[in-house]
Amino acid sequence: MSAQPTIHGEVESGFGPVADAFRRNFSEHGEIGAAVAVYVGDRPVVDLWAGHRDRRRTLPWERDTIVPVFSSTKGMAGFVIAALVSRGLLDYEERVATYWPEFGVNGKDAVTVRQLIDHQAGLSGLDTVVRLPQLADLDGLATILAAQKPAWRPGTRHGYHAITLGLYQGELVRRVDPARRSLGRVFAEEIAKALGLDFFIGLPAEQNMDRIAGLAATEGLDILRYERDIPLRIGAELFAKRGFSYAALNNPRVGAPARAARREFLEVEMPGSNGVGNARSLAMAYGAAAGRTGALPIDNDVLDRLAAADTADDVPAEDLVLHTKSRYHLGFRKSRGSFSFGSDKRAYGTTGLGGSFGFADPATGLGFGYSMNRLGLAVLDDVRSRNLRAALLHCHV
């Protein structure tokens, strides 16, 4: 068992089980440094942090520590898309090529915005090798993205667009925003500023790297100690350098996940995979959505669509990239059988590589956020996040 750190922060009466689960994550599940937050609308009821922000356990995790959250960024990008839908600049059911004519080649002319953001477009990989510096050239990147041929017939199946989704969303936002702003700028100016989020898609130069937690891969005996949901099929594809998983996770070539806490990685915009922030910011954003506080620039009818329960297109189906059943809806994950979160099927959010997670629970008005720096191996449902969510379900709201 790991040493028990001092838990910092505040917990409102009735939410003690979340604090207990957070404490156990350190003593039983190998947590190094982490934070968890829960908001009821715009009111914080849990705001905790503990441990260390470096793998050697010499630097304390502070209240303002931020950390790469990988695909938990997709939820923030999903809110940007929802805000543009609210303004009438985008329509979920419109063809992407209506806004971005160059996109409509190689069998993509009929791809809708919804199909793209719900991982149905067959664009989970890129044939052209893209390296980190190329991601800063948005015009050049747009040419590569537009020319890509789908790996399956769009709309017929889905497979997780782990890195590419955010790149396509970013160009789509540039095409419709009147000022041609990037997705990261729209997020910063219209969402992060409005809510006071400490979260960035494209790290500004003035942000001090000292406050960003370093990441630690789970290796050796720690895999046996702490990991139970090991993605063997994905690992086999990565080892063989073939298959949908390899194509989705190996290009763009941006370096190993454990090296993500470096400026050259975080300063470019990858709206699906390189946001840096904290649990508090995730919970604040999802709390604003679930509690309809009015702080998000998203109309209630669009929030209703995000919270919709099952439709014919939202039932769990086999994910060609992750090799598990999953549900996607308007850019977010939805709760389903073996991966459930929130009070009912209206809940929506996104998970991140290593274990981070944020979600909205419209049934209760709760927003949840969890961030950490030990990178777990589970495809979707890291045990540390699962413990916190299970505890939250037993709290009185």
Mean pLDDT, residues 276-285 taken together: 98
CA angle 206, 210, 211 (to 5 degrees): 85
- Of the listed ranges 21-30, 71-80, 177-186, 308-317, the least confidently predicted one is 308-317
CA of residue 20 relative to chain centroid, distance = 25
Q: 176: helix, coil or strand?
A: helix
- Find the domain containing 117 and state its range: 1-397
CA angle 327, 329, 330 (to 5 degrees): 155
Confidence band (pLDDT; 50, 70, 90) for 103?
very high
Amino acid residing at 180: R
**Structure confidence at residue 108 (pLDDT):** 97
As a whole number of angstroms, the distance between CA 397 and CA 392 comes to 9
**Structure confidence at residue 380 (pLDDT):** 84
**Structure confidence at residue 145 (pLDDT):** 98
Mean pLDDT, residues 86-105 taken together: 98
Whether 387 has a pLDDT exceeding 90, the answer reads yes
| Beta pairing, strands 216-217 & 374-375 | parallel
Summary count for the chain: helices (H), strands (E): 15, 14
Whether 371 has a pLDDT exceeding 70, the answer reads yes
Mean pLDDT, residues 322-349 taken together: 89
Counted domains in the chain = 1
* Tens of pLDDT, residues 120-151: 999 999 999 999 999 999 999 999 999 999 99
Between residues 337 and 307, the one the model is more confident about: 307
Choose among 331, 326, 366, 360: nearest CA to 346.
360
Label residue 57 left, alpha or beta by phi (over 0 means left) and psi (-120 to 50 means alpha): left
Confidence band (pLDDT; 50, 70, 90) for 253?
very high
> The CATH number of the domain where 309 resides is what?
3.40.710.10
As a whole number of angstroms, the distance between CA 397 and CA 72 comes to 25
Choose among 49, 72, 73, 71: nearest CA to 61.
49
* Tens of pLDDT, residues 296-321: 999 999 999 999 976 555 556 788 99
Mean pLDDT, residues 384-391 taken together: 96
Percent of all residues in the chain with a pLDDT value above 90, rounded to a whole number: 82
Mean pLDDT, residues 149-169 taken together: 95
Taking the model in full, what pTM does it have?
0.96
* Percentages (nearest 5) of helix, strand, coil residues in the chain: 35, 20, 45
Mean pLDDT, residues 374-392 taken together: 94
Confidence band (pLDDT; 50, 70, 90) for 397?
low
Radius of gyration, alpha carbons of the chain = 19
Mean pLDDT, residues 322-336 taken together: 89
- Of the listed ranges 22-36, 85-99, 300-314, the least confidently predicted one is 300-314
Q: What is the mean pLDDT of the chain?
A: 94
CB 194 within 8 A of CB 285: no
Confidence band (pLDDT; 50, 70, 90) for 1?
low
Whether 68 has a pLDDT exceeding 70, the answer reads yes
* Tens of pLDDT, residues 181-226: 999 999 999 999 999 999 999 999 999 999 999 999 999 988 888 8
**Structure confidence at residue 39 (pLDDT):** 98
**Structure confidence at residue 224 (pLDDT):** 83
**Structure confidence at residue 256 (pLDDT):** 93
Choose among 38, 42, 43, 41: nearest CA to 18.
38
Question: DSSP assignment of 57-98, as one string?
Answer: S-SBPPTT-BEEEETTHHHHHHHHHHHHHHTTS--TTSBHHH
Confidence band (pLDDT; 50, 70, 90) for 58?
very high
Q: Can you tell me which residue has the tokens 């993500």? A: 260
